Amino acid sequence: MKIGFDNEKYLKIQKEKILERIKMFDNKLYLEFGGKIFDDLHASRVLPGFKPDSKIQLLKTLKDDLEIIFCISAKDIERHKIRADHGITYDMDLLRIIDKLSKLGLTVSSVVITQFTGQASANTFKNKLERLNIKTYIHTYTKGYPTDVDVIVSDEGYGANPYIETTKPLVVVSAPGPGSGKLATCLSQLYHEYKRNVKAGYAKFETFPVWDLSLKHPVNVAYEAATADLKDVNMIDAFHLDAYGITAVNYNRDLEVFPVLKNILYKITGEIIYKSPTDMGVNMIGKCIIDDEVVQEASKQEIIRRYYHSLCDYKKGLLDLEVSQRIKVLMDELNISLDDRKVVKAAIEKAKEKDTHVIAIQLEDGKIITGKTSKIMSCSSSMIINSIKYLAHIDDEIHLIAPVILNPIIKLKKDIYENSGVLSLHDVLIALSICAATNPMVEKALSKIKELQFLDAHSTCMLPNSDLDILRKLKINVTSEPTYGTNNLYKK
């Protein structure tokens, strides 16, 4: 993989900026943490060289002075909102994240359930957290928001929320997804801190958009594509331009809320702390791009991926058609074609040739490997087997799964799953693992599976959730045509 981003430099200078920001205040900073705290695969895709765990590595260097508050919206709990990259609900993802942070020695001091209006499911989740010994708070909608600053910054507004006890100088406020109430939680805490004569501060850790890249730089356009369902639009930060004469990029929601936020901060602190939304941010991404050409190409590929994801989500009834139409406009602005994603053409052509569904993957050396749906194997399973054979220099005619292992699995599936003996990707990986115990050749092939991480793949049909979940875990960047693999109305 060609590298376009210096991850070590990023960790160093981003940490320095955070420490500088803490010193601006009374050694107490509430840092709104945007994006994914773990597994920031979007950043790693558009910035080759950015490590998906960079944010965690950064926080680990600050852990002695750090604690974490997590926000989750009661609305998201109530409607069982799903994190697309993991296929689990926000509340379950929150538990997953807390587990992972705890194992790394990072302290999650509390959870805040925001936007609470009495949702029964949110109450149930609160009970669950408390019985797991996780300190949990409830925040309701802020009275007076967004127009009546006098009410917002009063005991009726932010003062109506309970104060969240914290002890460390840096308090990271994060969430499993957008719209979780991170900003309101930070400002509520600021209100309470000032009432306690603690001159705490607020700042924002946001990876995208990158303020010091151009408005139409593919990295910033890829962010628009990624948030097309939220209707985020990148814009020039006019506040920053007026204050400093410097062009900076921000996005519409931050720009729209800034006048109100500026007034709220002034009402709480008695000072004008920030002159623009860009001022609030701590973002050194742009300083760490070392090969702009590599980064631009990677970002264009991400825009195509987002386009395909939106088409599939529309087909599933999860999104409006408007989302994919917006991404198509972004593609046209950058003169991006679907043909720029090489695995798309390869998959479609092979599917026509074989008259069945096919998935294609492009390996690091440029070689494209395909796998087709057969009577005994899903296309994903075939693709993985064919790929690791190629990487291990094993002849295509050699079968990796011994019949003594294969046949009982097929028989069992036919007996249990309504005569369907098709092996899923999960079935195949388990079978390969069993065969690897006695066959060194299979063991060698299976060891190559890690070399598939971050490669591009495309399927001519939407894959079953079980296969898709494993491909995600393998960190393969898979897209699909917005077509179902079967005519069955019930999809697994």
Structure tokens of 393?
A: 């220099």
Across the range 173-189, mean pLDDT stands at 93
Q: Render pLDDT for 404-439 as a digit per residue (tens, 0 to 9).
A: 888 888 888 888 776 577 888 999 999 999 999 999
Q: Is 265 helix (H, G, I), strand (E, B) or coil?
A: helix
Using 50, 70 and 90 to split pLDDT, how confident is the model at 38?
confident
Cα gap 158→146, rounded to integer Å: 12
Using 50, 70 and 90 to split pLDDT, how confident is the model at 490?
low
Q: Render pLDDT for 361-393 as a digit per residue (tens, 0 to 9).
A: 999 999 999 999 998 899 999 999 999 999 999
Share of the chain above pLDDT 70, in %: 97
Per-residue pLDDT, 492: 58
Using 50, 70 and 90 to split pLDDT, how confident is the model at 84?
low
Across the range 447-469, mean pLDDT stands at 94
- Rounded to a whole number, what is the distance in angstroms from the first to the last CA of the chain? 34
Per-residue pLDDT, 414: 80
Residues of each domain in the chain carrying CATH 3.40.140.40:
341-480
Per-residue pLDDT, 419: 53
Using 50, 70 and 90 to split pLDDT, how confident is the model at 82?
confident
Structure tokens of 85?
A: 């990259």
Q: Render pLDDT for 104-144 as a digit per residue (tens, 0 to 9).
A: 999 899 999 999 999 999 999 999 999 999 999 999 999 99
Q: Which residues of 376-401 are buried (b: 16+ CB within 10 A; e: fewer)?
A: bbbbbbbbbbbbbbbbbebeeeeebb
The reply to whether omega before 209 is within 30° of 0 (cis) is yes
Helices and strands per DSSP (H, E), number in the chain: 20, 14
Distances (CA, A) of 221 to 117, 206, 319: 36, 16, 20
Which CATH fold topology does 341-480 show? Answer: Cytidine Deaminase; domain 2 (3.40.140)
Residues of each domain in the chain carrying CATH 3.10.630.10:
7-288
Are the beta carbons of 462 and 483 closer than 8 angstroms?
A: yes
Across the range 436-464, mean pLDDT stands at 95
Q: Is 152 helix (H, G, I), strand (E, B) or coil?
A: helix
Is 7-288 a domain of CATH 3.40.50.1820?
no
Per-residue pLDDT, 485: 81
Per-residue pLDDT, 423: 87
Against a cut of 0.75, is the pTM above it? yes
Q: Render pLDDT for 234-257 as a digit per residue (tens, 0 to 9).
A: 999 999 999 999 999 999 999 999
Q: Which of 478, 464, 471 is nearest to 449 (CA)?
A: 471
